[in-house]
Amino acid sequence: MNLFMEELNTAVSSEQAVLADAPDMLRCSGCGRDMVADVVLAGDAACPYCGSLFRQPAYRRIEAIVDSGSFIEIEREAEGRDPLSFPGYKTKIEKERMKSKMQEGVVIGKATIKGLRTALAVMDSYFMMGSMGTVVGEKIVILAEFALTNRLPLVIFCASGGARMQEGILSLMQMSRTTIALARHSAAGLLHVNVLTHPTTGGVTASFAMQGDITLAEPGALIGFAGPRVIEQTVRDKLPEGFQTAEYLYEHGLIDRIVERRDLRETLAALLALHNGDGSLRTYGKGVFDGGVS
Amino acid sequence: MASLKKTGSNPAAAAPLEPAWERVMNARKEDRPQARDYMEKLFRGVFEVQGDQCMGNDEAIVTAIAWFETFPVTVIGQQKGHTLEERMRCNFGMPSPEGYRKSMRALKQAEKFQRPVICLVDTPGAFCGVEAEAKGQGRVIAEHLRAMATVKTPCISIIIGEGGSGGALALSLADRLIMLENSYFSVISPEGAASILFKDSSMASEAAKNLKLTASDLKSFHIVDAVIREQSGFSRTQMDESTDEIRKAIRVSLKQLTRLSPDRLVENRQQKFLNMRGF
């Protein structure tokens, strides 16, 4: 079994290629046109020619989803060690930090969406393909505990190549740790919504990405447990058309809804309003219908 | 699957085997005792519970009710199979969603009847196939993890051979985690890591060392509670001494765990993992 980002090169509609001789350019796999990466990714990260979705960096995503100025980040500086002294890992981490301008693969905090308070985690596939090591796991745990203490719902944007190989068994343990923290949040009657974005695979799929009350996905996103190449090697055959896309999962009854990127803010606000940011019958009659979508 | 290839087991090789790789090779030996072998030795009156009552009966996971000494227990084991015929029936120990659903059914019953759960972990990994994905392999492992995180009855997991990634982890979120000396527990197979790291799966021995996947590595990370020594010549036909050690470990753990109220037990289990920060 292979849970890693190197397995994710199979193109789906929202895949993109950075041009080797021009790293500041992106090539859209939808229409084959080249464009300036910074400009496209600073906006809605969709191809201006054909509309194909690129992977959206975490801070751009937050800007697009939450009420302007409402996001307060927590644990911004959290920074991992190299617990296994894994060959080449320290250098790789440094490079990824420089390249992505991110400390790690997930950003967490609290915000409001159309006035409704929520705890929010956004994974960033530009940092080691959003792979989950000890820091990513710990930040999800911290956020779930924060949401529990403050009785907040939880929205998680998932994007991950899976558990991070370079932190070995400690990465795998993050699947257990996030599961527990989210089970405690859930037991308090609080809402957890997942948005699965391209790509969501491996250990993240097999833990918190599939533990929400509601599961949304972006069109064309690759979502699966094993990477397509591993499966191809196992079955020694071509994979079915559209295999492991959001649409495929929807048809198989594994996710609730596919939502266009531009509609995510509305959809999340509607879900938060339905659960009143609390989701408990105890608040019935105490203004449960206040704070709905305006 | 990588584990079925005998990569690196060249008897003519002059250099001694890398110790971590030797553990992996031992964990995969064909005559190594498997879940059903232990079930025969450790328990009496075994009644197998079959099927997920929805899609099928996955023989990569065996679930049963049985007596452990004076306790009725629930047993959940991953079975790889000894003969080729059995291995094919068990899909080489790679469980499908049906298997994990059967296992969750067993967990639910164990809670209802306040039976402790004994998991025997031995898999190269959860099955990576088209069908498994279509039936939600990722979701079912996620649900199994949550079931083990919240089940109000004692859970003891013993890694008896291969602890292959998420497929093994699903059965390892327990109050006590015990490993046999020649088992391993890893985020990825050494062959898989080698092909990513060195673009060469024959470097699996080097990768095994870097992954820190042996029982003693995991003991040093405080992820496992105990490591059980294996007797010399340990195999299906020569397993009584080691089985006695396993029996003792289960007995001691049950004595400690059955003293706790169900709520205390779950709280302790959850705190144990939440405290496992790794940095």
What domains lie within chain A, and their CATH numbers?
56-279 (3.90.226.10)
B113–chain A Cβ distance below 8 A for any pair:
no
Phi, psi of A195 (to 5 degrees): -115, 115
Q: What is the pTM of this model?
A: 0.91
Q: pLDDT at residue B11 above 70?
A: no
Pick from B169, B81, B168, B65: which is nearest to B118 by CA? B65
Hey, which residues 129-148 in chain B have their CB within 8 Å of chain A? 129-130, 132-139, 141-143, 145-146
pLDDT tens-digit map of B76-120: 999 999 999 999 999 999 999 999 999 999 999 999 999 999 999
Interface-testing mutation among B128, B175, B267, with chain A (most A C-beta atoms within 10 A):
B128
pLDDT tens-digit map of A9-54: 333 344 565 555 566 788 888 888 888 888 888 888 888 888 889 9
**Cβ pairs A/B, distance under 8 A:** 184
State whether CATH 3.40.605.10 applies to domain B29-274.
no
Contacts of B184 in chain A (CB under 8 A): none
- Asked if B141 and A170 come within 8 Å (Cβ–Cβ), the reply is no
Q: Name which of A165, A173, A235 is nearest B196 (Cβ-Cβ).
A: A165
Query: What is the mean predicted confidence (pLDDT) over B212-216?
Result: 97
- Asked if A168 and B187 come within 8 Å (Cβ–Cβ), the reply is yes
A210–chain B Cβ distance below 8 A for any pair:
yes
pLDDT tens-digit map of A114-135: 999 999 999 999 999 999 999 9
Alpha-carbon distance values, A15 to A8, A50, A200, B127, B214 (Å): 9, 13, 13, 26, 37
Distance from CA of B185 to the nearest CA of A (A): 7
Q: pLDDT at residue B26 above 60?
A: yes
A157–chain B Cβ distance below 8 A for any pair:
no
Alpha-carbon distance values, A245 to A57, A87, A218, A253, B138 (Å): 20, 34, 9, 13, 14
Query: What is the mean predicted confidence (pLDDT) over B221-248?
Result: 95
- Asked if A183 and B128 come within 8 Å (Cβ–Cβ), the reply is no
Bridge-based pairing state of the strands A214-217 and A192-200: parallel
Q: Which pLDDT does position A43 carry in this prediction? A: 81
Q: pLDDT at residue B271 above 50?
A: yes
**What are A182's two structure tokens?**
């989210």
Distance from CA of A253 to the nearest CA of B (A): 9
Find the closest chain B residue to A141 by CA distance.
Answer: B274
Confidence at B2, pLDDT banded by 50, 70, 90:
very low
Distance from CA of B231 to the nearest CA of A (A): 26
Burial class (CB in 10 A: 0-12, 13-18, 19+), A82: middle
A167–chain B Cβ distance below 8 A for any pair:
yes
Q: pLDDT at residue A171 above 50?
A: yes
Contacts of A181 in chain B (CB under 8 A): 274
CA distance linking residue A30 with residue B92, whole number of Å: 40
**What are B242's two structure tokens?**
């080691």
C-alpha distance across the termini of chain A, in Å: 47
Q: What is the mean pLDDT of chain B?
A: 93
